[in-house]
Homo-oligomer: A and B are copies of this chain.
């Protein structure tokens, strides 16, 4: 018999009927003799409703009080799920973040988990109780309620699995698993059976939904095997595991498309050491999320630095960059909002050469012009014109045979 951690997100527990469904699923595992620990999110849109309540009272509510408010959402779910299990004869016990000893730092609304005192869970499991844990929340060392920020419930599940040395950690969600690309954009997208932590991390950072990069980082650090699957069917989902456990050898695991970024270029930057560091340091201070960065040196010995930022950070970016240009005597700022970023991710890139060439050729064959290129150990990103983004995505997806079952 094994110890299984399961996580059910907001859409999986959005109504009392769905909570009953979740209870029935848990019962199957429990009756097979497994020990089951469950992390849950707030019901459906209930967190949004709480945020709206707060917004009516304060335009910038204190993070401490916001966490007191928001943590009630998961607390409602744990009580209801424990009741639902009891109603079908499965002994269950709910735990708030504080009750499970989910100790975090004091960074309200973005807290980091420091430790879990798992003794109460172990006692409950020894008594053959299913443990229902409120996701997303913890307490700091002074007993203040904290929340973990985006992807928090996934992180709770992974932390529980790590602390309890669980045999597996199942992330139930509203999709079947991780896909080679977004099935809403490319019809031939396939579900991935196995993916490495590193690949999943890159895809998560590129916005490939499903898992938040934070939970993947933690899973990777503690070697927690994740199984991402649907709460609405019994199909096998995607296993997120260590590189050596990935069964299928491919060059590229998945491709992504982002269309919510702009390209920003600053020309004629004096070639002095530390200027790039200064610019990007200031952007980081202004909470601007910079993605692709490319620098080129002109014949005049001056540099042009181009980078991409989310549209929503553009105003902040203009301010920082204009100040920088004034101070440093750099040239003009150029912004292009009509771009798309296509990225290919795969640990196969480490051992296979020529992958970039395949990608460039796929785009060249369709007369798609590449405006920027950025590569990392397991990722290649290219910036193209926004109108050609979807065509580029499809081309790259099929260039690496992602539309065909793996060998």
Q: Which residues of A contact B (CB under 8 A)?
A: 16, 19-20, 50, 53-54, 56-59, 61-62, 64-66, 68-69, 71-72, 75-76, 78-80, 82-84, 86-87, 93-94, 96, 98-99, 143-145
Decide yes or no: A84 and B72 within 8 Å by CB, A66-B79, A98-B98, A99-B143 being known contacts.
no
Inter-chain contact A75/B78, CB cutoff 8 Å: no
Q: Closest residue to A75 on the B side, CB-wise? A: B72
Expressed in whole angstroms, the Cα–Cα distance for A269 and B195 within the complex equals 82
Q: Which residues of B contact A54 (CB under 8 A)?
A: 79-80, 83
Q: Which residues of B contact A64 (CB under 8 A)?
A: 93-94
Q: Which residues of B contact A66 (CB under 8 A)?
A: 79, 83
Q: Which residues of B contact A20 (CB under 8 A)?
A: 57
Most buried by B among A20, A72, A84, A98: A72
Residue in B58, B86, B87, B144 whose beta carbon sits within 8 Å of that of A83 in the complex: B58
Inter-chain contact B87/A58, CB cutoff 8 Å: yes
Expressed in whole angstroms, the Cα–Cα distance for A80 and B69 within the complex equals 7
| Chain B nearest Cβ from A102, distance in angstroms | 13
Secondary structure of the A side of the interface?
A: helix
Known: A19-B57, A65-B79, A66-B83. 5 other contacts (CB 8 A): A53-B76, A54-B79, A69-B75, A72-B72, A98-B98
| Chain B nearest Cβ from A219, distance in angstroms | 28
Q: Closest residue to A67 on the B side, CB-wise? A: B79
Expressed in whole angstroms, the Cα–Cα distance for A82 and B62 within the complex equals 9
Inter-chain contact B69/A79, CB cutoff 8 Å: yes
| Chain B nearest Cβ from A375, distance in angstroms | 47
| Chain B nearest Cβ from A169, distance in angstroms | 24
Expressed in whole angstroms, the Cα–Cα distance for A20 and B68 within the complex equals 18
Residue in B19, B61, B68, B93 whose beta carbon sits within 8 Å of that of A78 in the complex: B68
Inter-chain contact B80/A57, CB cutoff 8 Å: yes
Inter-chain contact A86/B58, CB cutoff 8 Å: yes
Inter-chain contact A79/B86, CB cutoff 8 Å: no
Inter-chain contact A65/B87, CB cutoff 8 Å: no
Inter-chain contact B16/A87, CB cutoff 8 Å: no
Decide yes or no: A65 and B53 within 8 Å by CB, A98-B98, A99-B143 being known contacts.
no
Q: Which residues of B contact A78 (CB under 8 A)?
A: 68
Decide yes or no: A86 and B61 within 8 Å by CB, A76-B50, A76-B72, A80-B69 being known contacts.
yes
Expressed in whole angstroms, the Cα–Cα distance for A72 and B46 within the complex equals 13
Inter-chain contact B86/A75, CB cutoff 8 Å: no
Q: Which residues of B contact A79 (CB under 8 A)?
A: 54, 65-66, 68-69
Decide yes or no: A57 and B94 within 8 Å by CB, A68-B75, A76-B50 being known contacts.
no
| Chain B nearest Cβ from A396, distance in angstroms | 47
Q: Which residues of B contact A19 (CB under 8 A)?
A: 57
